[in-house]
Amino acid sequence: MNINEILNKLGIEPDNSGTSTGSKWLASKGAVISSSSPVNGQVIASLQSTDAAGYEKVMEQASQAFLHWRKVPAPKRGEMVRQFGDALREHKDALGALVSFEMGKSLQEGMGEVQEMIDICDFAVGLSRQLYGLTMHSERPGHRMYEQWHPLGVVGIISAFNFPVAVWAWNTALAWVCGNVCVWKPSSKTPLCAIACQHIVAKVLKANDLPEGISNLVTGNACGTLINEDKRIPLISFTGSTRVGKVVSATVAGRFGRSILELGGNNAIVISASADLEMSVIGAVFGAVGTAGQRCTSTRRLIIHESVYDDFTAKLAKAYGQIKIGDPLDENNHMGPLIDQGAVEDYLNAIEQVKQQGGRFLVEGGVVNGPGFESGCYVKPCIAEVKNHYAIVQEETFAPVLYVMKYKDIAEAIAMQNDVPQGLSSAIMTLNLREAEQFLSAAGSDCGIANVNIGTSGAEIGGAFGGEKETGGGRESGSDAWKGYMRRQTNTINYSNTLPLAQGIKFDL
Ligand code: UN1
């Protein structure tokens, strides 16, 4: 499929407005954003981003739509999400290919991303009948107590380029069944993916006679600030860097809004002396080079037991020799390009820093040149032997740079895994039950995700997704993450004919 066929299948015009309340696309005169593919450098489309007036129109429509949507029974909202999941199934090939072309991840991973959207829709449909609250026993006679969960209102979703469609879906599918309406500000690097999603969901909303304003799209970085400062938006779900997340968090907290933050990771796999080394190689390589190292769950560090260090790093270097870099839409290739030239600069800068700080490369990096690589965004995945405390190792570099280091005993390995500012994902490869349980214990990994015998990336949607420390503490997706999209109300009902006060207080008139 070439890009025109992909856009055709998705029913979208390349030159579009970047502002929508559903089926309606508003003329809004924000700065022009152009989407260019890192696959071949081609400019795919340019679109007019949202200006302040356009943002205002969207917010008015969204606020109106909420008044309707909150009264639709949750299982009926779930029915809309079920139909959205079906529409995604229908468009999976084209949307997966667009993700691959606009963002640069392999076609397999583009399809996998759309599959995550479908999975979260299924999850949300079930959830729409399970928004359970608890009942409590009142201390007063003739009283009943319970809690219920109500929608919040307009939810702002700010997503990153690396998962241009799935992260929106995790948030929006849950937010919708919970009774909220959403305003989405996608990354300015992947606006077409967002436009495609908006077209897909708009048809479903229209077919169900639902009003404009339930699914809204705004584009351009100026809108990020408008959303964060907007008192009409009680919840912001932000995915991006720790640096920007800090500003979002402070701004939203300053107006007593809530935020769900999914920020940087610095994810490690501990390769123990008792690891299945063949399996560990696959886990480590997919974790480090999958999505060209641009997942927040990408494997950045390998903490390897000294007894298997030489053997394992040799196996790893051999596996790296087999990685095919190239057009991500060609399924023979393992790894596509980085998102843009800026990302290539960050990658090259990290390599320089590693050298300056005393690291040694076991597999050299560099930019790939020549026919097929004209976009200048293709780089070689590399492996460096480092110390955990190097400043560059403490940072998240969003690129396929893998750090390896040695440890002597499990306590030291756990301490090294935890000794970074971020706390998203972690893993241990071991067949030793004691080590595995120690890693998962309260004194083990300090991350939001801790795995045994699988890598750090590729989390399933059924679990709560997110991490601690500078990762921001938010949870999205499965388990009871839905509670973050609702407000809890405690209700006490007196069905007696007296008015006893709590705590036995007497107040007689
Ligand atoms: C992200 O990189 O922002 O666990 C999300 C994973 C994917 C999601 C990553 N399911 O790797």
Ligand 1 center to 98 CA (angstroms)? 18
Q: In the CATH scheme, what architecture does the domain 3-263+472-490 have?
A: 3-Layer(aba) Sandwich (3.40)
Superfamily classification of domain 267-462: Aldehyde Dehydrogenase; Chain A, domain 2 (3.40.309.10)
Query: Residue 286 and residue 455: Cα distance in Å, rounded?
Result: 8
| DSSP bridge pairs for 216 | 183
ipTM of the complex: 0.97
Sole residue written with tokens 């480090």: 288
Query: Nearest C-alpha to atom 6 of ligand 1 is from which residue?
Result: 458
Distance CA 182, CA 164 (A): 16
For ligand 1, the distance from its centroid to the CA atom of residue 478, given in whole angstroms, is 13
Per-domain boundaries in the chain: 3-263+472-490, 267-462
> Integer distance in angstroms from the first to the last C-alpha of the chain?
81
Whose CA is closest to 67, among 229, 211, 258, 257?
A: 211
Closest CA to 308 of 287, 280, 268: 280
Q: Which residues are catalytic?
A: 262
* 3-state helix vs strand vs coil in the chain, percent to 5: 40, 20, 40
CB-CB neighbours of 142 under 10 Å = 12
For residue 449, the ligand 1 atom closest to its alpha carbon is 4
Which ligand 1 atom minimizes the distance to the CA of 297? 11
Q: Which helix (H) or strand (E) holds 143?
A: strand 143-151
Span from the CA of 197 to the centroid of ligand 1 (angstroms): 18
Q: Which atom of ligand 1 is nearest to the CA of 425?
A: 4
A 10 A CB-CB count for 67 gives: 12
Q: Which of 105, 159, 295 to mutate to test the pocket of ligand 1 (most atoms within 8 A of CB)?
A: 295
**Residue of 163, 447, 477 to test ligand 1 pocket, by largest number of atoms within 8 Å of CB:** 163
The residue whose CA is least distant from atom 3 of ligand 1 is 296
Note the residue count of the chain: 509
- Chain segment 21-42, per-residue pLDDT in tens: 999 999 998 999 999 999 999 9
The ligand 1 atom at the shortest distance from the C-alpha of residue 465 is 4
Which residues have CB under 6 Å of ligand 1? 116, 162-163, 167, 239, 295-297, 457-459
B/e letters for 403-432, b = 16+ CB within 10 Å, e = fewer, are bbbbbeebeebbebbbebebbbbbbbbbee
CA distance 404 to 423: 18
Kindly give the confidence (pLDDT) of every residue in the chain, 509 residues in length, as a single tens digit, with 9 standing for 90 and above. Answer: 788 899 889 988 756 899 999 999 999 989 999 999 999 999 998 999 999 999 999 999 999 999 999 999 999 999 999 999 999 999 999 999 999 999 999 999 999 999 999 999 999 999 999 999 999 999 999 999 999 999 999 999 999 999 999 999 999 999 999 999 999 999 999 999 999 999 999 999 999 999 999 999 999 999 999 999 999 999 999 999 999 999 999 999 999 999 999 999 999 999 999 999 999 999 999 999 999 999 999 999 999 999 999 999 999 999 999 999 999 999 999 999 999 999 999 999 999 999 999 999 999 999 999 999 999 999 999 999 999 999 999 999 999 999 999 999 999 999 999 999 999 999 999 999 999 999 999 999 999 999 999 999 999 999 999 999 999 999 999 999 999 999 999 999 999 999 999 999 999 88
CA of 7 to the centre of ligand 1 (A): 25
Which of 119, 447, 465 best tests ligand 1's pocket when mutated (most atoms within 8 Å of CB)? 465
Strand partners, 402: 383
Q: How far is the CA of 461 from the centre of ligand 1 (A)?
A: 9
Secondary structure string (H, E, C) spanning 312-345? HHHHHHHHHHCCCECCCCCCCCCECCCCCHHHHH
Annotate 391-460 with DSSP letters as a single string. TTTTS--SSSEEEEEEESSHHHHHHHHH-SSEESEEEEE-S-HHHHHHHHSTTS--SSEEEESS-SS---
- What is the C-alpha to C-alpha distance for residues 344 and 338, in angstroms, rounded to an integer? 7
Q: Are 422 and 335 in contact (CB under 8 A)?
A: no
Distance 256 CA to ligand 1 centre (A): 28
Q: Comparing C-alpha atoms, which of 133, 196, 163, 233 is closest to residue 398? A: 163
Contact criterion met (CB below 8 Å) for 325 and 38: no
Cα distance between residue 228 and residue 211, in whole Å: 25
Query: Using N-to-C axis directions, what is the helix angle for 74-103 and 191-207, rounded to 10°?
Result: 150
Residues 6+ apart with CB under 8 A from 229: 251, 255
Alpha-carbon distance 463 to 7, whole Å?
Answer: 33
Tell me the whole-structure pTM to 2 decimals: 0.97
Q: Do the two domains 3-263+472-490 and 267-462 of this chain adopt the same fold?
A: no
Q: Measure the CA–CA gap between 303 and 434, rounded to whole angstroms.
A: 18
Identify which of 118, 244, 457 to mutate to test ligand 1's pocket (most ligand atoms within 8 A of the CB).
457
Closest to 402 measured CA to CA, from 452, 447, 457, 454: 457
Phi, psi of 405 (to 5 degrees): -150, 160
Task: Please list, in sequence order, all residues whose beta carbon lies within 8 angstroms of the beta carbon of residue 501, skipping any fewer than 6 positions away.
Answer: 507
Nearest ligand 1 atom to alpha carbon 160: 3
Q: How far is the CA of 19 from the centre of ligand 1 (A)?
A: 26
